[in-house]
Amino acid sequence: MFTNAQRQVERTGRYGTPRDQHLQDLVTQFQEATDEESKERIVANLANFAYDPFNYAFMRQLNILELFLDCITEPNEKLIEFGIGGICNSCADPANASVITQCGGIPLVIQCLSSPVKNTVNYALGALYYLCSPSTKKDILKPEVLKAVREYAAAGDANAGFSNLANAFLDKHRVRLVHAICLDYLKNLLESSNFIYVKRNIAHGRTIMKMKGKNQKRPHAERFAWHKRQSIPHPHVQ
């Protein structure tokens, strides 16, 4: 259940610990922890706080989003799972998404798509669903990412969790998806084709009508035409 300042005061009571202080204590505990199990427990706790918008300002102030991203770079699969879980829970907020993007979080989220842990993959799909925007689509709607998402979408009943999230992503970004596929197709086509550059001199009729004197040199405009040696097939989008 989401909270607000008034409700939080009521729950905390006169002698309770304010939410920002509690989050600060958790961050300090994580930094001082020496065993993996304690770190896992603390990050899981922080990820649970990441779903509530009331905590977002505190999380940005305490660099908790960066902490989640750091966990994704660890070899510990549990830390990766809880780290990407925290990112997934919080990235629907535009301010949080901006921090995640600016800190280089998109490649880290994408790499979670290949995790052997199901929860990690689910969280990654959910995070990409919210992180994909006009400013980030070039980093997310890449061929290798789309290939992975399509494979999860095709899982169907065999893995409904993957399939539902992947299909939601594809449905939301359908226009951008088709656009990205077309651009990729045209890029490959241009790189693999040879073009002949032809320069033709064409005099505009309107310019000729305005000329004075028969002996005046007629100016002309230059038009350029590209002729391809072979026909260009139309891109076919699945």
CB atoms near residue 233 (< 10 Å): 8
Domain carrying residue 26: 5-140
Q: What is the pLDDT of residue 56?
A: 96
Residue 210: the pLDDT is 53
Q: Report yes or no on 178 lying in a domain.
A: no
> What is the tally of structural domains in the chain?
1
The three-state DSSP-derived secondary structure of the chain is CCCCHHHHHHHHCCCCCCHHHHHHHHHHHHHHCCCHHHHHHHHHHHHHHCCCHHHHHHHHHCCHHHHHHHHHCCCCHHHHHHHHHHHHHHCCCHHHHHHHHHCCHHHHHHHHHHCCCHHHHHHHHHHHHHHCCCCCHHHHCCHHHHHHHHHHHCCHHHHHHHHHHHHHHHHHCHHHHHHHHHHHHHHHHHHCCCEEEEEEEECCHHHHHCCCCCCCCCCCEEEEEEEECCCCCCCCCC
pLDDT of residue 162: 83
Measured distance CA(148)–CA(169) in Å, rounded:
12
What are the tokens at 177? 């998806």
Whole-number Å distance between alpha carbons of 180 and 130 = 18
Q: Is residue 9 part of a domain?
A: yes
Contact assessment for residue 66 and residue 105, using Cβ atoms and an 8 Å cutoff: no
CATH of the domain at 31: 1.25.10.10
Calpha distance 87→73 (Å, rounded): 13
pLDDT at 196: 46
The amino acid that residue 92 corresponds to is A
Tokens 């830390």 correspond to what residue? 79
Q: What is the pLDDT of residue 198?
A: 45
Phi and psi angles of residue 215, each rounded to the nearest 5 degrees, phi first: -90, 0
Distance (Å, whole) CA 179 – CA 176: 5
pLDDT on residue 173: 81
> CA–CA separation, 100 vs 139, rounded Å?
13
Which pLDDT value is given to residue 193?
Answer: 57
Per-residue pLDDT 10s for the chain (238 aa) are 445 455 555 455 444 578 899 999 999 999 999 999 999 999 999 999 999 999 999 999 999 999 999 999 999 999 999 999 999 999 999 999 999 999 999 999 999 999 999 999 999 999 999 999 999 999 999 999 999 999 999 987 767 778 899 999 998 887 455 555 566 666 666 666 554 444 455 555 555 455 555 555 555 444 444 444 444 454 454 4
Domain assignment present for residue 185? The answer is no
All residues at 6 or more sequence positions from 120 whose CB lies less than 8 Å from its CB, including other chains? 77, 80, 81, 84, 112
Model pLDDT for residues 140-191, shown as the tens digit of each residue: 999 999 999 999 999 877 677 788 999 999 988 874 555 555 666 666 666 6
